[in-house]
Amino acid sequence: MAQSLIIGIGNPDPEYHNTRHNVGWQFLDFLAKKSKAGSFEPQKKLASQLAKGHCTIKGKEGKILLAKPQSYVNVTGPVVAKLKSFFKVSNNAIIIVHDDLDIPFGNIKLSFDKDSAGHRGIESIMKSLKTKKFYRLRIGTSNPARVKAWDKPTKAKEAFVKDFVLSPFTPAERAKLKTVFEEGLRRLEQK
């Protein structure tokens, strides 16, 4: 049994793979290399791609299971519940990796038992698990354009957010992601 189930959320269609909303999957690709997990293998009955590796998480060396649900971000919850049940892990062994619009790009936060802050994927997971008591590695994606959009009327703000999270990282942001991911791994190792 894995000591940690680390789930990166993202959209499965190829055109979304390098977008901000799929930064959870991008982090899992990084973590798979670091933990020598090998390639992700499709598991149709779990609606996920899975990889297994070894890594230090929360100060303990052990097996980790990496999962990329093959559902859209906003409806990830049922897949996460299926993974939790199948692998018989407790809520505090679950780490969800996702984008966060409230955190500036380049920053990362590890949290436990926090509200969704409007992230629909996290809301879906909370609804399916019937709790918010799980870990979240929140990777900041906000930039100055997003900050300016917050002052717009609701419909304009919603349209901007949708376009923003589904757009790719800029070349400068892409160059910085490895450093961000390394910091994310340090947070997981220590927590």
Instruction: Please give the domain boundaries of the chain with CATH numbers for all domains.
Output: 4-190 (3.40.50.1470)
The phi-psi region of residue 89 (left if phi > 0; otherwise alpha if psi is between -120 and 50; otherwise beta) is beta
Average pLDDT estimate for 130-154: 84
Q: With cut-offs at 50, 70 and 90, classify the pLDDT of residue 1.
A: low
Distances (CA, A) of 125 to 91, 164, 169: 11, 22, 25
- The model carries a pTM of 0.93
What residues act catalytically?
21
Residue 2 DSSP symbol: -
What pLDDT does 32 receive? 95
> Is 81 within 8 Å of 67 (Cβ atoms)?
no
Residue 122: both structure tokens together: 């996290």
> Is 80 within 8 Å of 65 (Cβ atoms)?
no
pLDDT over threshold 70, residue 147: no
Residue 105: both structure tokens together: 């790009």
Q: With cut-offs at 50, 70 and 90, classify the pLDDT of residue 122.
A: very high
Residues 144 and 128: their CA atoms lie apart, in Å, by 34
Q: With cut-offs at 50, 70 and 90, classify the pLDDT of residue 173.
A: very high
| Span 78-92, pLDDT tens digits | 999 999 999 999 999
Average pLDDT estimate for 127-149: 87
**One-letter amino acid identity for 20?**
R
